């Protein structure tokens, strides 16, 4: 199992290319199931989760062509051609869903196109129980019959999906995406109220529109979808990854360096920009990139609460905690999205951080310096927070279980090393 070794203490300087957003790419790939024509996606990141989705779609009968690198070149910007031919199967098996929860995003497209789907229940994961009840209740409103058997959801809509009013009791990114995709081919009008407004949901809606879907209210919490008979092919470029951008912004801030994030988009990360500004970190746009640097000597202690978009993203909570761990002052971080997303706290404490968790809040008292330690990653964002903390630590840190990191960060050690970090992967 790969590990990463970091010797911290070096301010990072340089340019980091931001890849396409994993969380936008995964639902966009599932969209291919909705159309018999070719969907060409570009600016896809090269990540394990993308490979898992390719495997799943291939199993479901999607014809897939790797189309090399898109014009912006380098390691990033890969393009894929996906064509939803006849289904080889309508089952998303446990082996793939277990690896990646986003596999449940094939449920809506399969139901909409073929009237049936069998998808393994994802089960628990490190950051909480994460059920899919919101997805299933919404599908029931669209006329889907749902049965649970042997760990699988068996869903059937023998007479096709019927447009309906779907009010989510709480905001869910995945459930909004799943129902949005399904509603594009439903009979009549579907209104999705209390919809997630994340940029990745907006990206999905734009791609569906490019394929002929009728969607109003994109970017708001109420989406109105009028079903059409068929979606056609399209060429679509995935948006840049706002979480990768935020993570490398923290890398610049935590080391007191200066990094330009090439291809990043500030307009989809307002809350992160605001929080970093309060902490004493400036992000400014120019020359096709975003420059990140501290405004003063130290990082300020601040309070942060995670919320659905446009609030501060839960996927940046662990990274901001690593930064605030070395601040001057005290901070309170409140997690409102996932119930068990402080798994990085004990690991950060082993590196000398002073953090106490009380229910869904963590009190972070800034310490001047962290020290290197052997650590264990528990989930994707927790892993990167340990890498970030290590960059600002004295001595050597080993981050174990790097496979979590590889699910969401492409060539993290190469990108950081190019900015002067002393970091290497141990195979
Ligand atoms: C997506 C992102 C993930 C991010 C999360 C929240 C992808 C592939 N993943 O995950 O990186 O952290 O949004 O921004 O895009 N919930 C239920 N029942 C459901 C569905 C969700 O109770 O049926 C709960 C979840 O347990 C969680 C909250 O709702 O507490 C939000 O989850 P959701 O927005 O659905 O997250 P994902 O779409 O799984």
pLDDT of residue 237: 96
- Asked if residue 338 has its Cβ within 6 Å of ligand 1, the reply is yes
63 bridge partner residues = 83
d(CA 298, CA 69): 41
Predicted TM-score (pTM) of this structure: 0.96
- Asked if residue 133 has its Cβ within 6 Å of ligand 1, the reply is yes
- Asked if residue 178 has its Cβ within 6 Å of ligand 1, the reply is no
Confirm whether 90 is a catalytic residue: no
Distance 396 CA to ligand 1 centre (A): 34
- Asked if residue 173 has its Cβ within 6 Å of ligand 1, the reply is yes
Distance 427 CA to ligand 1 centre (A): 32
The answer to whether 306 touches 331, Cβ cutoff 8 Å, is: no
Among 309, 302, 252, 259, smallest CA distance to 277 is for 302
Task: Provide the CA 28 distance to its chain's centre, in angstroms.
Answer: 13
Q: Mutual orientation of helices 199-210 and 173-183 as an angle, nearest 10°?
A: 10
The answer to whether 174 touches 104, Cβ cutoff 8 Å, is: yes
- Asked if residue 128 has its Cβ within 6 Å of ligand 1, the reply is yes
Nearest CA to ligand 1 atom 33: 172
Distance 173 CA to ligand 1 centre (A): 6
Distance 172 CA to ligand 1 centre (A): 5
Among 17, 408, 416, 6, smallest CA distance to 252 is for 416
- Asked if residue 380 has its Cβ within 6 Å of ligand 1, the reply is no
Phi, psi angle pair for 80, to nearest 5° = -135, 140
pLDDT of residue 75: 44
User: What is the mean pLDDT for each group of 10 consecutive residues in the chain (427 residues)?
Assistant: 94 96 98 97 93 94 79 61 90 91 96 96 65 95 95 93 98 98 98 98 98 98 98 97 98 98 96 98 91 96 98 98 97 94 95 97 95 91 96 96 89 96 95
Nearest CA to ligand 1 atom 4: 315
Cα-Cα end-to-end distance for the chain = 7
Atom number, ligand 1, closest to the C-alpha of residue 173? 34
The answer to whether 34 touches 110, Cβ cutoff 8 Å, is: no
Among 54, 52, 55, 60, smallest CA distance to 34 is for 60
Distance 421 CA to ligand 1 centre (A): 33
The answer to whether 90 touches 104, Cβ cutoff 8 Å, is: no
pLDDT of residue 211: 98
- Asked if residue 123 has its Cβ within 6 Å of ligand 1, the reply is no
pLDDT of residue 247: 98
Nearest CA to ligand 1 atom 29: 172
pLDDT of residue 13: 97
Atom number, ligand 1, closest to the C-alpha of residue 338? 30
């Amino acid at each position: 199992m790969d590990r990463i070794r970091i010797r911290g203490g070096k301010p990072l300087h340089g340019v980091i290319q931001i890849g396409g957003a994993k969380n936008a790419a995964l639902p966009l790939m599932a969209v291919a199931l909705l159309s018999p024509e070719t969907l060409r996606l570009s600016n896809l990141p090269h990540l394990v989760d993308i490979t898992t989705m390719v495997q799943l779609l291939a199993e479901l009968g999607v014809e897939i062509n790797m189309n090399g690198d898109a014009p912006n070149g380098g390691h990033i910007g890969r393009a894929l051609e996906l064509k939803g031919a006849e289904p080889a199967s309508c089952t998303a098996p446990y082996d793939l869903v277990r690896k990646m929860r986003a596999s449940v995003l094939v449920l809506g497209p399969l139901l909409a196109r073929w009237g049936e789907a069998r998808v393994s229940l994802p089960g628990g994961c490190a950051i909480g129980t994460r059920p899919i009840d919101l997805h299933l209740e919404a599908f029931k409103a669209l006329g889907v019959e749902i049965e649970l058997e042997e760990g699988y959801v068996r869903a059937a809509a023998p007479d096709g999906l019927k447009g309906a009013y779907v009010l989510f009791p709480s905001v869910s990114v995945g459930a909004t995406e799943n129902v949005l995709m399904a509603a594009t081919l439903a009979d009549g009008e579907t209104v999705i109220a209390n919809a997630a407004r994340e940029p990745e949901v907006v990206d999905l809606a734009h791609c569906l529109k490019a394929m002929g879907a009728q969607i109003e209210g994109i970017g708001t919490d109420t989406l109105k979808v009028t079903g059409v008979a068929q979606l056609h092919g399209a060429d679509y470029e995935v948006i840049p990854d706002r979480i990768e951008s935020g993570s490398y912004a923290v890398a610049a801030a935590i080391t007191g360096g200066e990094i330009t994030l090439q291809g990043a988009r500030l307009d989809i990360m307002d809350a992160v920009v605001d929080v970093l500004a309060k902490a004493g970190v400036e992000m400014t746009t120019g020359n096709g990139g975003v420059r990140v640097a501290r405004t003063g000597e130290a990082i300020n202690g601040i309070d942060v609460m995670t919320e659905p978009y446009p609030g501060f993203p839960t996927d940046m909570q662990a990274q901001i905690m690593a930064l605030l761990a070395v601040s001057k002052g005290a901070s309170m971080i409140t997690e409102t999205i996932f119930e068990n997303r402080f798994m990085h706290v004990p690991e950060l404490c082993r590196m000398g951080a002073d953090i106490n968790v009380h229910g869904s809040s963590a009190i972070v008292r800034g310490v001047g310096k962290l020290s290197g330690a052997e650590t264990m990653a528990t989930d994707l964002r927790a892993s990167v927070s340990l890498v970030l903390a290590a960059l600002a630590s004295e001595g050597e840190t080993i981050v174990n279980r790097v496979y979590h990191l590889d699910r969401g960060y492409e060539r993290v050690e190469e990108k950081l090393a190019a900015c002067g970090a002393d970091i290497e992967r141990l195979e």
